[in-house]
A and B are shown apart, each in its own frame.
Chain A
């Protein structure tokens, strides 16, 4: 009798980007930020995986796709602790840290219901404020601070 497989196999990617150490609750926000729902690349998404350091984490593997630093840094809004591995020919050729961008255009929604960006067709724009591990967003228009990242729907 064949032995039961106790571990789910997630295939390694040959070339591409692996985003690891994403807090489980932020995983789908990262998917939104990178607009992966509209991507044609092969993508593996894992969520609620056990992690020694984080409890439950998420991981995203995107084959044949390499992001500009500017795109990756947007992840800081939802998962500043995420790590980025660049894979070439099955090897990790580069590890990147996420830097918090100074400004954020689009992507996030202002939490102030009276803000012009929520009532008219205006692209959101924020300055980032680092508050411990968290990133807060200061709205360029209404000047209010958004504490928790709310993704704009694509």
Chain B
């Protein structure tokens, strides 16, 4: 079975570092016709404009052509076709499959029913490994290293898949963590024991102000409405943290603010003009990292 990228756990430390290196080459040379004549399928079983455009642009910049769909309304899936049949059919046409699906584990399953590399562009609340790799690339780019970085994760640490995957990936690199979350949205025990088992230090706080000055990376996240079954609960937490420029007086000079985007209220617009804001550049980095992932899985890098 060819190498796929389904979960960040599928990539070793060496592979992660390799992707970082290739992404750097891609950023230095944004159009490379490595994949001339290849076809990339972008199958979005649920809509995600941002991720889809990033992957499609990455494929285009490598010289590949893209087929696919951006939602399932006009496809045979709405007629009841199984995931297996859709993947088998598409796999006859293309060289690599990029897919997003609302069901958790869908990408793993797809990689098992076809002979092509599969890139998971999000499977429900489970994994979104290209996001994790672009986060790592951005940390490396802003700090000049991945080792010994202090990351302050803020917001919904209970349901946020990006923070869970980032935590797992960073565990290769001796990190320090600060977890800033309201009591109801704290980092789950299983991830804390994952860190305990590896002797990775972390502290927990409910106050955003408390550790703003102690971190190299401030990783803000959105409290996601779709994760709450009770709208009253969501109302209680949606504005729990709001970062504005006036709070950034005592931060480290090298500190950068990342956010997987889209943001709602958690970062005020006046932060955008400070030297600490890095989330738009982070989104741009996603394209280079996705170019690197596709080129690597197809054996070109």
Known contacts A114-B124, A114-B125; is A143 also within 8 Å of B105 by CB?
yes
Report if A83 contacts B (CB, 8 A).
Answer: no
Given A114-B124, A120-B84, CB of A139 within 8 Å of CB of B190: no
Bound Cα distance from A120 to B81, whole angstroms: 10
- A44 is an interface residue with CB less than 8 A from chain B: no
Q: What per-residue 1/0 map shows which CB atoms of B143-187 lie under 8 Å from chain A?
A: 000000000000000000000000000000000000000000000
Chain B residues whose CB sits within 8 angstroms of the CB of A141 once the complex forms: 104-106, 108-109
The answer to whether the Cβ of A152 comes within 8 Å of any Cβ in the partner chain is no
B125's nearest neighbour on chain A, judged by CB, is A114
CB distance from B128 to the nearest CB of A (A): 12
- Tell yes or no: B268 within 8 A of A by CB: no
For residue B126, CB closer than 8 A to chain A, the reply is yes
Within 8 A of A (CB), among B90-109: 101-106, 108-109
Query: A115 near B: Cβ within 8 Å?
Result: yes
Looking at chain A's contact residues, is the secondary structure mostly helix, strand, loop, or mixed?
Answer: loop
Flag whether A140 is at the interface (Cβ < 8 A). Answer: yes
Q: Once the chains bind, are B104 and A114 in contact (CB under 8 Å)?
A: yes
Interface residues of A in 96-133 (CB under 8 A from B): 112, 114-117, 119-122
Tell me if A116 and B106 are in contact (CB < 8 A): yes
B105 touches A115 (CB 8 A): yes
For the complex, is A145 an interface residue (Cβ under 8 Å from B)? yes
Give the distance in Å from the alpha carbon of A37 to the alpha carbon of B81 in the complex.
Answer: 33
- Number of A residues, CB within 8 Å of B: 16
Given contacts A142-B126, A143-B7, A143-B126, are A116 and B105 in contact (CB under 8 A)? yes
Using Cβ atoms and an 8 Å threshold, which residues of chain A touch B82? Answer: 120-121
Contact with B along A132-151 (1 / 0, CB 8 A): 00000001111111000000
A112 partner, pick from B102, B104, B106, beta carbons under 8 A = B104
The answer to whether A142 and B105 touch across the interface, beta carbons within 8 angstroms, is yes
The complex places the Cα of A141 from the Cα of B106 at a distance, in Å, of: 7
Question: Which single residue of chain A is at the shortest CB-CB distance from B164?
Answer: A143
Tell me the smallest distance from the CB of A134 to a CB of chain B, in Å.
15
Q: Are A115's CB and B103's CB within 8 A?
A: yes
Report how far A139 CA is from B127 CA in the complex, Å.
13
Chain B residues, Cβ within 8 Å of A143: 7, 104-105, 126-127
- Beyond the given A121-B84, A141-B104, please list 5 additional residue pairs across the A-B interface where CB-CB is below 8 A: A114-B104, A115-B103, A119-B103, A120-B103, A141-B105
